[in-house]
Structure 1
Amino acid sequence: MLKENYEEVQKKITEACKRAGRNREEVTLIAVSKTKPVEMLSEIYDLGERNFGENKVQELTEKEEVLPKDIHWHMIGHLQRNKVKYIAGKVALIHSVDSLRLAKTISEEAVKHNCEIPILIEVNVAGEESKFGVSVEETLPLIEEIAKLPAIHVEGLMTIAPYVEDPEENRPVFRKLKELSVDIAAKNINNVRMAILSMGMTGDYEVAVEEGATLVRVGTGIFGERDYSKR
């Protein structure tokens, strides 16, 4: 079942790229493996997947220890400052930076661990009170401050769109994030690239791809529904 799910997601990404006139190579799938056992991750790994996303630091570090070392781990969940030290040097990308205080901690830990840490700024495009992320208006001023910090690099933006029945409803959200990234890129800020747009999840990743996503975060579409009772 996992193989069929995985191949179906890859196929849909390819088709969305075609509709948008994009190269398939522009979009990377992240298999969101939170709450899923190592055996399931290994099965997806054996199909060629190397990008896995986790929401919790402890789960990420436990899996990172036992799974192959060529996996790129993505921290996609809300990150507390006191947990940063556990993932410094272990993550390929932190998607969820939404404050200068968090960025400063990441920078300090990167220096301590003698590594560079790429990050994305989480933008709450839809302005949902239940979601983390900075407002569209706050994004540029925050990036300008983070850009001054050592050993941390802003690579782009991330958003979690609202939960909707019809994915088309999120098209304006994705479009807005893309426009914001273009505006920020035009500022040519040192230590800032807008190469990555992390947007789109199981319910709406095809629309996100059509609107310019370079990373899509798919969990349920690959692994099935999550079982939170095991946590």
Structure 2
Amino acid sequence: MDEYLDAIRHRRDEIMARVDEALERSRRAPGSVRVMAVSKTVGTPQVLAAIEAGYGLFGENRPQELVRKLGELAEVSDLPPVRFDMIGNLQTNKINAVLGRAACIHSVSSLHLAEAISSRVQRRIESGELAAAQPVLLEANVSGELSKSGFTPDELRAAFPRLSELRGIRIQGLMTMAPRGDKSVARSTFASLRELRDELAGDWPGVDLAELSCGMSEDFSEAILEGSTLVRLGRVVFDPAFELE
């Protein structure tokens, strides 16, 4: 594990250098992008190595993995504070497993899901199990890919009056995924997300839409150039053999 730790420490230095370079190119403030280590394909030992390497924000795709890893990490003494978010598709029958565990749910992809989360959060607040509304991001399918979930831009515009009323959620911004394989298309997708966020922020000034969660291992530099505030990196973090382009 020492060799692995050295490798992901070195890789983290490379990632952060790329982040800083993209911020400089886009004339954004240093430190204005957070790096999430997406731990969906690795075990708790690899997460512990990542924590030691300097990561403090993690993302999980499956509620059961979120529960398992948080349970195992709770048994580790002298662990620095870490945060886990839920970033994968969330079914309504898995909401209860995520509440109280995920700091933020990135994948609120429909009004139905937002309402279901909100109602369950409100019940837990009333019972004293939760203290506050659940932070969420709204997943926007700005690329129009049929294989991807999320609100279309028009659906999000139409749903926003109702979304803004839900007391059990606290909207913090938008999330998207770009088509893979073409960085120019990815950059255009991220620009479209930023433009949609700016439009909604202008129409709904009382809602905080500061967070833009976009950019993954293959395209995080392009995402930062277009305004991403949080990049979600999996293979490039945990696989030393992954080529950082």
Whether the TM-score (by the shorter chain) exceeds 0.5 is: yes
Retained in 2: the 8 A contact 1:89–1:110? no
Could you tell me how far 1:150 is from its partner in structure 2? 1.3
Distance in 2, matches of 1:14 and 1:156, equals 22
Q: Classify the secondary structure of the residue corresponding to 2:84.
A: strand
Aligned positions of 1:9-28 closer than 5 A: 9-28=15-34
Could you tell me how far 1:143 is from its partner in structure 2? 2.4
Unaligned runs of 5+ in 2: 1-6, 74-78, 241-245
Match of 1:222 among 232, 237, 240: 237
Match of 1:143 among 160, 169, 176: 160
For 1:59, the equivalent position in structure 2 comes to 65
Percent of aligned pairs with the same amino acid: 37
In the superposition, the TM-score normalised over structure 2's length comes to: 0.87
Distance in 2, matches of 1:54 and 1:139, equals 24
Aligned positions of 1:89-168 closer than 5 A: 89-111=100-122, 112=124, 113-114=129-130, 115-164=132-181, 166-168=182-184
Distance in 2, matches of 1:99 and 1:169, equals 24
Distance in 1, matches of 2:137 and 2:80, equals 23
Unaligned runs of 5+ in 1: 226-231
Distance in 1, matches of 2:94 and 2:84, equals 15
Retained in 1: the 8 A contact 2:139–2:175? yes
Match of 1:201 among 201, 210, 216: 216
Distance in 2, matches of 1:169 and 1:103, equals 29
Q: Classify the secondary structure of the residue corresponding to 2:193.
A: helix
Distance in 2, matches of 1:195 and 1:98, equals 18
Retained in 2: the 8 A contact 1:202–1:218? yes
Matched, 1:80 2:91: yes
Could you tell me how far 1:180 is from its partner in structure 2? 0.6
Larger Rg: 2
**Displaced runs of 4 or more, over 4 A:** none
Calculate the aligned-residue CA RMSD, in Å. 1.6
Distance in 2, matches of 1:77 and 1:158, equals 11
For 1:40, the equivalent position in structure 2 comes to 46
For 1:188, the equivalent position in structure 2 comes to 204
Distance in 1, matches of 2:175 and 2:14, equals 24
Q: Classify the secondary structure of the residue corresponding to 2:211.
A: strand
Could you tell me how far 1:15 is from its partner in structure 2? 0.7
**1:12-35: per-residue Cα shift (whole Å, max 9, x none)?**
111100111111221000000102
In the superposition, the TM-score normalised over structure 1's length comes to: 0.92
Retained in 2: the 8 A contact 1:143–1:154? no
